Amino acid sequence: MRVQDAFLQVWHRAATFDPARGSAKAWLVSIVRYRALDAAQKRSREILTDDPGLADGAEDFDPVAALAARRDGNRLHACLETLEERNRRAILLAFVDGLTHSEIAERITTPLGTVKAWIRRGLAALKTCLEA
């Protein structure tokens, strides 16, 4: 994933931004993130970046702790904590490491159908908790 590709896409898609549908930040994040996911999937589990200047610092990243430390992350953090451990772990692997269903299944040596069910149940529980 080349960072400048994502920024150029932001430039080209600026006209599609609609402030009524969310913040500019969320819009930017979604573009960059989907672009990164596409690139990662094309290369199939290879490193996410070819920018030599970008250090690969994500490995030590603890998303739950980072969320807890943020004021705007309290609610999501609390709801993630209510999930079953395996469901939460699968969701975090997906979001933080950018893994697909099948990549998670391979990573944690678990049948694909099981991983899909964990994530689906985890997302449903997360939604219920966040909307409570």
Minimum Å gap between C-beta 102 and another protein is 7
For the window 12-51, what string marks contact with another protein as x by the rule CB under 8 A?
Answer: x-xx-xxx-xx-xxx--xx--xx--xx--xx--------x
Contact 84, 122 (CB under 8 A): yes
Q: Which two tokens stand for residue 63?
A: 């998303």
Q: Please pick, from the candidates 43, 81, 127, 128, the single residue that binds another protein as defined by CB under 8 A.
A: 127
Radius of gyration for the alpha carbons in the chain, expressed in angstroms and rounded: 16
Q: Please pick, from the candidates 86, 108, 110, 123, the single residue that binds another protein as defined by CB under 8 A.
A: 123
71-105: b (≥16 Cβ within 10 Å) or e:
eeeeebbebbeebeebbbebbbbbeebbbbbebbb
110 near another protein, judged by CB under 8 A: no
Torsion angle, alpha carbons of 27, 17, 51, 45, to 10: 60
Q: Please pick, from the candidates 1, 39, 67, 125, the single residue that binds another protein as defined by CB under 8 A.
A: 67
Contact 101, 115 (CB under 8 A): yes
Q: What residues line the site for another protein (CB under 8 A)?
A: 3-4, 7-8, 11-12, 14-15, 17-19, 21-22, 24-26, 29-30, 33-34, 37-38, 41-42, 51-55, 57-58, 61, 63, 66-67, 69-70, 72-73, 75-77, 91, 94-96, 98-102, 104, 119-120, 123-124, 126-127, 130
